[in-house]
Amino acid sequence: MAMLCMAMVLVSCSGEDGEQGPQGPAGAQGPAGADGVDGIDGQNGTHGADGVDGNANVQSVKINMDAWNGGEIFEFDMPIGSQMRSNYAFLFYLEYLIEGEVAMHSVPGAPIFGVFTTDVSFLANSDVSPNGIIVFKDYQGASFNVPPGFYLNFVIIAIEINTMQGKGDSVDIMTKLKAAGVDTNDYNAVVAYFGLD
C-alpha cells in the first residue's frame, strides 16, 4: 500500500514546467590568447640619388633683348656680384620665335634649325658693366651676325651652391640635376624642377 501511495504522489507531482528563472551573473573572463610573434623585418631598399637641396636659393633673371640691334656679340650684366659668383652655378637660355611659337635654347647651344651656335662667358672677378658676353659663331667657327629682333629675351638662372658642398662646386649641382632626371638644356624642365615662374 505504501508503494501505491508513493506512486500516486509521484504521478501527481509531475505537472507543467514552471516559468524560466532570471539569468544568472556572467562568469569570469577566461585567459587572453597569446600574442603572435613579429615577423622578420625586410631588407632596406637602396638609397636614391640626393636631389638639389630644397632650400637652395634659385633666381631667374630675364633680360629683354628688344633694344639689341643684333650682331656678333650680346653684352649683359650678371645678376650676382663678383664677390658671390663662386657660390653659384649658372644656366643661360635665349628665347626666340620659330614659326610663330616661342622657343628657348640653352647657351652654349643653338636655335632649332640654326646656322650658328652660341657661347657665353663672364668676367668672374668684375662688376664693371657689362661683365658678361654671348658670342655667336657659325659652324665653321667664324663670327656670325645675328639679325636684330631674332632673340626676344636672355634668361639667367642662378643656383646657389649649398655651403656644405664648398665653394665653386657648380659641377656637383649639375650632376645632381642630371641624377634627378633634369635636362639642363631644357629650360621648361629646369623651371618646373625649381618651381620658378
Which DSSP string do the residues of 83-123 spell out, in sequence order? TTGGGEEEEEEEEEEETTEEEEEEESB--TT-SEEEEEEE-
Render pLDDT for 40-81 as a digit per residue (tens, 0 to 9).
Answer: 765 654 444 444 444 458 999 999 999 999 999 999 999 999
pTM (two decimals): 0.69
Coil/strand/helix, residue 53: coil
The reported pLDDT for the residue numbered 172 is 80
Helix (H) or strand (E) holding 192: helix 187-194
Contacts of 138 (CB under 8 A, 6+ apart): 115, 116, 117, 144
The answer on pLDDT for 122 being more than 70 is yes
Confidence at 33, pLDDT banded by 50, 70, 90: low
Give the torsion through C-alpha atoms of 110, 112, 116, 118, to 10 deg. Answer: -20
Q: How confident is the model at residue 161 (pLDDT cuts 50, 70, 90)?
A: confident
Widest CA span in the chain: 147
What is the average pLDDT score of the chain? 80
Q: Has residue 2 got a pLDDT over 50?
A: no
Report yes or no: 177 and 100 within 8 Å, Cβ to Cβ.
no
Strand order in the sheet with 58-64: 58-64, 151-160, 88-98, 101-107
Q: Cis ω on the peptide bond leading into residue 148 (within 30° of 0)?
A: no
Gyration radius (Cα) of the chain, Å: 42
Cis geometry, peptide bond prior to residue 79 (ω within 30 degrees of 0): no
Confidence of residue 37 (pLDDT cuts 50, 70, 90): low
d(CA 126, CA 122): 9
Average pLDDT for 172-185: 91
DSSP SS3 for 170 = helix
Half-sphere exposure of 12 (CA within 13 A, CB side): 6
Give whichever of 111-115, 153-157, 160-164 has the largest mean pLDDT: 153-157
11 vs 82 pLDDT, higher one:
82
Distance separating alpha carbons of residues 90 and 42, to the nearest angstrom: 43
- What is the separation, in whole angstroms, between the first and last Cα of the chain? 118
